[in-house]
Amino acid sequence: MYFSLGSNLGDRLANLETALGLLTRVCPDLETSRIYETEPIDYRRQALFLNLAARGTCGESPEKVLLRLHAIERTLGRKRGRRYGPRTVDIDILLFGGRRIDSKTLTVPHPRLRERRFVLLPLLELEPGLSDPSSGEPYWKALLTCPPGGVYFHAVSRYTVRSLISWR
């Protein structure tokens, strides 16, 4: 299972670290990309985000995982308001194996995955060979069509895949 996490309110790095700690209760083998600072899109009049991608094995249904993600968001003070607006933490399910899900509450692959550089870069850092489960097209090709810029390396986390931080 692959996730995207973002934060642009309060102590963004602490918000992500806390969310990742809680997410390990859902996926104990959690690993992450590095953390990126990213410019907001859609609603641009807000603070910069910190974003990362994570992967892990979850023993629950995608719908149950989604409920647990919403509980983590609420624990960290997320209040749903303006679409694409500021938030303490946002956690999205990007991919669930090779499955396609289209229900009232969940769409997998995430419907805007192919359009978001701030999601694709960290996701492909974790797994460069990922492909769209429907078309089979590699996600790196989608990255080539995303608008340039707006995504900058920021930090690593204690969950960052070790091979990504071997330069230390």
Note the pLDDT tens digit of each residue in 58-83. Answer: 989 999 999 999 999 999 998 777 67
| pLDDT, greater one: 158 or 103 | 103
pLDDT for residue 57? 95
Mean pLDDT, residues 17-32 taken together: 95
- Averaged confidence pLDDT in the chain: 88
Q: Would you state the structure tokens that stand for residue 1, as one six-digit string?
A: 């299972």
98-123 pLDDT, tens digit per residue, is: 889 888 898 889 888 888 999 999 99
DSSP label at 162?
G
- Which position among 12, 78, 116, 117 bears the catalytic label? 78
The answer to whether residues 95 and 109 touch, using CB atoms and an 8 Å cutoff, is yes
Token code pair at residue 144: 């080539």
Q: What's the half-sphere exposure (Cβ side, CA atoms, 13 Å) at 146?
A: 20
Decide which of 118 and 147 is more confident: 118
Domains in the chain, start-ordered, CATH in brackets?
2-162 (3.30.70.560)
Give the confidence band of 48 by pLDDT, cuts at 50, 70, 90: very high
Indicate which residue of 87, 114, 116, 117 is catalytic.
87
- Distance (Å, whole) CA 70 – CA 147: 29
Residue 25 appears among annotated catalytic residues? no
102 catalytic per annotation? no
pTM (two decimals): 0.89
pLDDT band at residue 153 under the 50/70/90 scheme: confident
90 included as an active-site residue: yes
CB-based contact 33:125 (threshold 8 Å): yes
Q: Which residue has the tokens 């690593």?
A: 156
Residues 6+ apart with CB under 8 A from 156: 34, 35, 164, 165
Q: What is the mean pLDDT of residues 155-168?
A: 64
Which of 12, 34, 55, 90 is catalytic? The answer is: 90
Residue in the block written with tokens 């303490």: 88
